[in-house]
Structure 1
Amino acid sequence: MSRRGRLTEAGSDARLSSPSRRHPDPAHPVPEPGPVRTCVGCRSTGPRSALLRVVLGRDATGEPVLVVDERRRMPGRGAWLHPEEHCLALAVRRRAFGRALRHAGPLDTEVVAGAVARHADDQQPQPQHDGAGDIPVPTVDRESGLEADGDPMSTQR
């Protein structure tokens, strides 16, 4: 039997019966679009926006120091790290910063630890107070933008 015959016997849906086309496999999630980087601590990948970039800079005396590149624009090799304590501990234990940045000597990680701690503090929601007492004031967005009460699909102005 020819290939064409096998395809026509199976029907037109034979090519669409692949499990990846019908239902995504939960064991293999679809990666998010955009740049992906690998954490030097836990070695898992994640979107670039979720990781801290660490570069090798120089202090006033010319000694190499680790610098957190907040804007992700500094020149040179960069090491990427999840802003979590356990990833930092793994990176320090494995001496991953020196390897990733191609530096043979010891590196002080206090600056990186401070950035990880600041990021952890920023992630914890802070209740807003009205100034009169310890009662938190709820924050509710009453409008989501211009003409929030209008029909979002309306084409008339």
Structure 2
Amino acid sequence: DDRTTAAFWKNSFHGEDFGSFDREQGLFTAVAEKAQIREKVCNIHKSWGNYIKDYLEKECIEWLKKHILYGKEILEQKVAPEVRVYNRPGSERNSVALTCMATGFYPRTIDMTWVRDGETQMDDAHTDGILPNEDETYQMRKTIEIDLEDKHSYTCW
């Protein structure tokens, strides 16, 4: 938001950290034992370190800014959630679980609350948090359990 930029170079191999580049010193540092040969080769050739440092401080930042500009429309889009409420038997004998599900929203930020009788917010709801959908939107469920004899009105907001 404040337009601050920074770049780093970090490698992984088969899901494990391999090595990283220290911009201040201009050196490659091996993290994995298998990366020690690369560390020696890269650090012998100071021109490699100078090239990577220059790339990270200039070209990488320029490309980052271009990609943000190209994706600005997508990054700033807002998609309202589709919301459904459903019930199922509760964990207790005379209870029902009410679940509110919001899906297809973007960006990730959402506030979901159960409200009783239009006033009281239900703080004892269970949620698994905000989860991603395959289409790069998000979903969230919030469930409360109430007694079958409860005559209050419940709303998902």
Q: TM-score, normalised by structure 1?
A: 0.27
Provide TM-score, normalisation by structure 2. 0.27
Considering fraction of residues, name the structure with more strand: 2
